[in-house]
């Protein structure tokens, strides 16, 4: 008689428990790390902080000014 009809289930019938536990562990770890970071962005979501963003804007402005100067020199 097969294992499904009576008695206890075979071991391979519990295959779905391993992924379920793995997903629960991943969600728990994500929630833990998110709570530890506070209001800052979560590292997995990418992005930069406001201080870094302002610094990058300044650098881009300098690069644009340098490009304009280079174009003016090329036009002469």
Q: Identify whether the C-beta of residue 33 lies closer than 8 Å to the C-beta of residue 42.
A: yes
Q: Identify whether the C-beta of residue 49 lies closer than 8 Å to the C-beta of residue 40.
A: yes
The alpha carbon dihedral of 41, 47, 52, 53 has a sign of negative
The alpha carbon dihedral of 72, 73, 75, 76 has a sign of positive
Stated pTM of the model: 0.39
- pLDDT single digits (tens) 10-34: 666 778 888 999 999 999 998 887 7
**Torsion on CA atoms 68, 70, 74, 76, rounded to nearest 10:** 70
**Residue 1 pLDDT level (bands cut at 50, 70, 90):** very low
Domain residue extents for the chain: 1-45, 46-76
């Amino acid at each position: 008689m097969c294992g499904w009809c009576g008695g206890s289930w075979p071991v391979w019938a519990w295959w779905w428990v391993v992924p379920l536990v793995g997903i629960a562990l991943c969600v728990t770890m994500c929630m833990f790390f998110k709570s530890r970071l506070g209001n800052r962005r979560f590292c997995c979501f990418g992005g930069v902080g406001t201080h870094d963003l302002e610094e990058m804007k300044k650098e881009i402005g300098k690069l644009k000014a340098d490009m304009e100067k280079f174009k003016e020199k090329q036009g002469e």
